[in-house]
Structures are given as structure tokens and as C-alpha cells.
Structure 1
Amino acid sequence: MPDALTLEGARLRLRPWRLEDRAPLAALNADPDVMRHFPAPLNRAESDAWMDRLEAHFARHGWGFWAVERQGTPGLIGTVGLMTIPWEAEFTPAVEIGWRIAAAHQRQGYAEEAARLSLDAGFGRIGLAEILAFTVPANAPSWLLMAKLGMRPTGTFEHPRLPEGHPLRTHLLYRLSRQAWMGSARAERVTA
């Protein structure tokens, strides 16, 4: 089992999961506002099963969707990170980046900071060549963040885990290559 990465940012710590994260993660996953662009909020059993999958991904790879907390302030405010996509599509196998931040902590730049830490790790220590992201067209905050991160839209796809005719089945697909990320990171260092 590889050692699990912990990522440190200016305001945030992205760390592996702990037993005490189950209740706050369940509250996050049950919040209709947080889950408005998903098929439905998750009940406690569904949230625990999702956390089991997140922990299994960490056990296999040493990275995944991290538990996010503010520096110096323990307590889960969300989950952000990288995950191998567990279903088949024309663009899999692949790794996605995703984020889910508690409503009280949204619109404060936390998703962006955590996503940038995740991309740095993904293209740096983890050594990925490409990272994908996807969301429904109505989720403007997410696809605007994808664009802000330098990800490029590459069309749409029908999510294979949602039935035909489901209003959330069509997803926007974004991609970012290691080369593009490293080039933008170099440009930021030069202009800073």
C-alpha cells in the first residue's frame, strides 16, 4: 500500500480520511444545496459507502479525493481531489478532478485552492499525463472553475450511470494535459 499524500496550501490542508470524517461527510452529501447538480442527496448509508470507495482508492494509489480542512481549524469543509474514473466511456481509462465544498464555505476560493493543489500533485509527484473534469451544463460554478484552472472543453457525453432521458445525463467534458499545466505554472512564476 503506498503512503497516502497530504497536501498543504496557504489556507487549506488536503489529507487522507479519518473515521471522524464520516458524520460531517454524510452531512455534506445530504445537503440539497451542495448536491443540486447530482441526481440526489445521499443518505448516511450511501455516504458511508462512498467514503469506503474513497478510502479504498487511497489504499490502492496513495491519493484520491482528499478530506479538506482549513489550516489551523480542524473539521471537514469538503472533499477535493483526483480519482480514477470507475466506469467506461470513450475517454476512459482516465483520472478526474472533482470538488464538493460545504455550502457555508462556498464562494471563498477554497475549491480553486484545493483544485490547484490537486493538479500540482497530479502532474508532479503522481506523474499523470492528463486530468479530466466533467459536470452538467447547469453547474456554471464548476465549469467556470474548470476554465479558470486552464482546462479546455472538449464536448459533451452521456453519463453512463444515469438512465436515458434523465435531466442530468448530458455532461460537459474538460481536459488538461501535464504539458499545458506545467506551461501555465511556469508562466505564473515568471509573471509573479
Structure 2
Amino acid sequence: MIYFETERLQLRDWEEADLEPFRRLNADERVMKHFPKTLSTEETNMLYATIVSEFEERGFGLYAVEVKENKAFIGFIGFHRATFEAEFTPCIEIGWRLKQEAWGKGYATEGAEACLQYGFNTLGLDDVYSFTAEVNIPSKNVMQKIGMSFIKTFDHPKVERSSPLNKHVLFHISRSSYRDQ
């Protein structure tokens, strides 16, 4: 099922054929540069099961993204319920992970903008958050481009304190501020 689309992208249900390119995506050191580590096949399989489960439980999640022009799977963009221990959780997070060949084309921004529109107007979400390692400039840029506001920095409780990825930035957008844009 295609949930929504943009000029260049389709955001859709996951298909079994997505699993192998998803494994490669999560094993790519360049893609996972701002995460504590790459994911093994087993870890990717578990993430895939979590994504499918969230769709079944909530009716939304991290959408598989494909380029309309060639039907190529390029990663995911969408929503996830973040539940780690923090003052702003549990919350609905918007996130993205795209293969390197898709970088620099505006796909993350285009897909994330469409997600926010779908989330606020169709799903009825009130607030959406996003966070990333402070050193992840490309993702911070996407957050700003889609109209999110910087809230604060925080130490991510699931990242080693000694890691350069521990310090995270938190961004937020509400339905009312989204509509005012």
C-alpha cells in the first residue's frame, strides 16, 4: 500500500524484497556514521520486525521509500514511537535513513515534509520530535528545513557517555506551528 507520495517519492508499506537492500543500508558504515555501530543481519531483521509491528499496532511507522522514476528502494522516512528514558519521551519521532546514493538530492527533506503533512492532517498527531547526534549536520539541516525548532541538547541514554555521538540535539514541531508555516 502507498500511504502518500511526493513529486519524486512513494512512501509505502514494506515488502519482503526490501529486506536485503535494508540489510545493506544498515551495514553501510557511511550511512551509519552517526549511529553507535552498523547493524548485523540479525539486528536488521529485528528492526524490520519492529517496523512491521508498529504499523500493525499504530497504523503508521517508518515508511519504505522508493523513487517513482525507477521504483528503487532507497531507505525509510517516517514515524517511530521513542520510549527511551528522557523528559520528552514517550513521543512520536520523525526520522530517515537513506542509502548514500540518494544523498544530496533533497529526498529526506521532501519525504519528511510529506510525512509531517500526513502526520498532522491525516493521522491527527499533535506533536512530532526529532533528534540526532549533535555532529550530524545533514540531519539537523533537514529538521530545520521542515520547520522544526531546536529545543535543547541532551545526553542520549542509550549511547556511551564517552562517545562523540552521546550529545544529541532535540527538535520539535506542533500541529499548530506546522499550520502557521
- State whether TM-score is above 0.5: yes
TM-score between the two structures when normalised by the length of structure 1: 0.91
Q: Per the alignment, in what secondary structure is the counterpart of residue 28 of structure 1?
A: helix
Which residue is 2:64 aligned to?
67
In the alignment, which residue of structure 2 is the partner of 1:187? none
Q: Could you tell me which of 141, 157, 165 is aligned with 1:168? A: 165
Alignment correspondent of 2:42: 45
Post-superposition CA distance 1:7-30 (Å, at most 9, x none): 111100000111111100001111
Shift of 1:93: 1.6
- SS of aligned partner of 1:50: helix
* Runs (4+) off by over 4 Å: none
Shift of 1:126: 0.7
CA-based RMSD: 1.2
Distance 1:174 1:32 in 2: 25
1:5/1:62 contact within 8 Å kept? no
Point out where structure 2 has 5 or more consecutive residues left out of the alignment: none
What is the rounded CA distance, in whole Å, between the counterparts of 1:168 and 1:105 in structure 2?
23
- Correspondence 1:101-116 to 2 at 5 A: 101-116=98-113
Whether 1:19 and 2:16 are equivalent positions in the alignment is yes
Q: Identity of aligned pairs, percent?
A: 38
Distance 2:104 2:111 in 1: 13
Per the alignment, residue 135 of structure 1 pairs with 132
Matched residue type, 1:47: T
Runs of 5+ unmatched residues, structure 1:
185-192
Q: Would the aligned equivalents of 2:2 and 2:10 in 1 still touch at CA under 8 Å?
A: no
Task: Give the structure-2-normalised TM-score.
Answer: 0.96
Deviations 1:127-158 (A, max 9, x none): 11110001111111110111111111111111
Secondary structure in structure 2 of the residue aligned to 1:162: coil
Are 1:7 and 2:4 matched, yes or no? Answer: yes
1:5: how far off? 6.3
Structure 2 match to 1:58: 55
What is the aligned length? Answer: 181
Out of 141, 145, 149, the position equivalent to 1:144 is: 141
State the alpha-carbon separation in 1 of the partners of residues 138 and 72 from structure 2.
Answer: 24
Contact 1:123 1:178 in 2 (8 A): yes
1:35 pairs with 32, 35, 42, which one?
Answer: 32
Give the counterpart letter for 1:174 in structure 2: F
Partners of 1:116 and 1:44 in 2: how far apart? Answer: 30
